[in-house]
Amino acid sequence: MHSFAAPTRIVESLDDCGGEVTQNTMNRHLPTVIGTDQRTKLASGKTARVVLLNNAATTPPFASTLASVNAYLQTYGALHRGAGPHANATYEKAQDAINTIGRFIGLRKDQSLLFTQNTSAAINLFIRMLGLTKKDTIITSEIEHTSNNLPWSFNSKACVVKARAFDDGSLDYIDLEAKVKKYAKTLKLIAVTGASNLSGSIPDIRKIAKLAHAHGAMLFVDAAQLVPHRPINMKRDGIDALAFSAHKVYAPFGLGVLALPRAIMDVQPVDPGGGSIDMLSEKDVTWAPPTHRHQTGTWNVTGIIALGESCKTILKTGWKTILAHESRLVAYTAEQLATVPGLIFYVQPDAYIREHRIGTFCFNLPHYHHALLSAVLDKEYGIETRAGTICNHRLVRRWMRIGEQEQKKIETKIKQGNRLASYGIVRVSLGIENTKQDIDALVAALSTIVAKGPQRKYAPVTEEETYEIVK
């Protein structure tokens, strides 16, 4: 089996996490994750254990997170909107969680946290707070996740420049540096994805941070895929602002995190409302402190406490243990998927081993629509995957070699209601709960599909972008 020389480009070696990895640390118990022993009824009538391989979309919660939320709900009360035992307990638990989240990402003293609905909402809020003009320039890459692509173009007046990227999802640093120098006089920010949701590629964050800072610009990181897989220290890594979602970090839906400099927050709120002011008169508004004025209404305290507990669980487990588990599993997955006859890869499996990528593997099978293959894995084997362009249309289009004329035909069909007209891939993505047995189940299922095909007949459901078994 292959081994990793280092877990990521952010963490230069496992020693960065506090020491050398030994056999004992590798075998240390990982956190219990809810749902790993659940069974589902298959199309054959038999049952099988659900194989959770869609972690890049949503991770199941830690058992410790569920327990923490249940305990909190026993004293559920008003946050910032009341006095009394339950209100006090709610405040204390929320504050403890906020401190833990800040520690989890290495928040600097001059930075603070804001909470939103998800990563996309956090990025949009950040952009509107920046108040960029037509004279300002933002540099991002040409294959960013939609969340770190559309908001810069549709919610900002700034000129958006896209640095080149390679087919394997990695950045072209020569082109990035050239564009930074070209737009140095107007450059305000470089915005990059911390880890690709399709290729697993992790950019050199520290290198990009130094490049941005050398030209007086900030670095923003969409860390949705990075946070659950690699330790982040905003101070050490030179990250000025970042965003991520709780449902990528073994906590429930409905919470996004935006970490940013306090200086940016000291402006009029872009979404004013309840809780954003301390005083209102006919002629003047006294805004609440910056950490409150941008979070109007009642906060998602349950989500904050859940995320805080998940962060605490990861820190308690230790990144050495998690990274060792992930490096072994990513290598095993790459090796085993390569044994499936005819499987089409868009990033070669050995790249995951050489380059320390996170475990997001994309593939197709000849003569199978991507959504059909995903449906067969679901209904006949109980394996969770995701199919489609998965919020990275430009990269998938590049993989499919789709020209402009063909693209227009596809777009026309989609506008007419046929969402299955789109090109796409099948993605499996690893989490802390996954094992070699999960990968063996996936590889066995794919090999059987190659050899024997589906056990049932399927019909397209175009409006839902999926396939269902013909009754």
What pLDDT, in 10s, does the model give residues 289-323?
777 778 877 789 999 999 999 999 999 999 999 99
Average pLDDT over residues 201-220: 97
CA 149 to each of CA 45, 112, 124, 162, 323: distance values in angstroms, whole numbers, following the listed order: 44, 24, 10, 10, 29
Confidence tier at 156 by pLDDT (50, 70, 90): very high
**Residues 112 and 262 sit within 8 Å (Cβ to Cβ):** yes
Q: Above 80 in pLDDT, residue 373?
A: yes
Selected residue with higher pLDDT from 430 and 282: 430
Q: Is the pLDDT of residue 22 over 60?
A: no
Unique residue bearing structure tokens 């199978």: 368
Q: Is residue 18 over pLDDT 60?
A: no
> How many alpha carbons fall within 13 Å on the CB side of residue 382?
18
Mean pLDDT of the 280-294 span: 72
pLDDT at 233 over 80: yes
User: Chain-centre distance of CA 379, in angstroms?
Assistant: 26
Q: What percent of the chain has pLDDT over 70?
A: 91
277-280 and 256-261 as β-strands: parallel, antiparallel, unpaired? unpaired
Among the listed residues 186, 136, 151, 181, the one whose alpha carbon sits nearest the alpha carbon of residue 163: 181
Mean pLDDT of 450-462: 96
Q: Give the pLDDT band of residue 284 (cuts 50, 70, 90).
A: confident
Q: Residue 270: which residues within 8 A CB-CB, separation 6 or more?
A: 125, 128, 129, 294
Q: At residue 6, does pLDDT exceed 50?
A: no
Other Cβ atoms closer than 10 A to 170: 20
Distance CA 240, CA 245 (A): 18
Contact 407, 399 (CB under 8 A): no
Percent of the chain scoring above 90 in pLDDT? 81
- Pairing of the two strands 383-384 and 51-52: parallel
pLDDT at 282: 61
pLDDT > 90? residue 44: yes
What pLDDT does 91 receive? 87
Write the pLDDT tens digit of every residue in 314-367. 999 999 999 999 999 999 999 999 999 999 999 999 999 999 999 999 999 999
CB 161 within 8 A of CB 144: no
pTM: 0.90
Ranges in the chain annotated CATH 3.40.640.10: 64-315
Domain 14-60+319-469 is found in CATH 3.90.1150.10 = yes
Domain boundaries for CATH 3.90.1150.10 within the chain: 14-60+319-469
| Confidence band, pLDDT 50/70/90 cuts, at residue 21 | very low
Average pLDDT, integer, range 125-141: 96
Say how far apart CA 328 and CA 172 lie, in whole Å. Answer: 28
Tokens of 63: 């058992």
- Position 127 scores a pLDDT of 95
Q: Is the dihedral of CA 143, 147, 148, 154 positive or negative?
A: positive
Q: Which CATH architecture has domain 64-315?
A: 3-Layer(aba) Sandwich (3.40)
The tens digit of pLDDT for each residue in 378-392 reads: 999 999 999 999 999
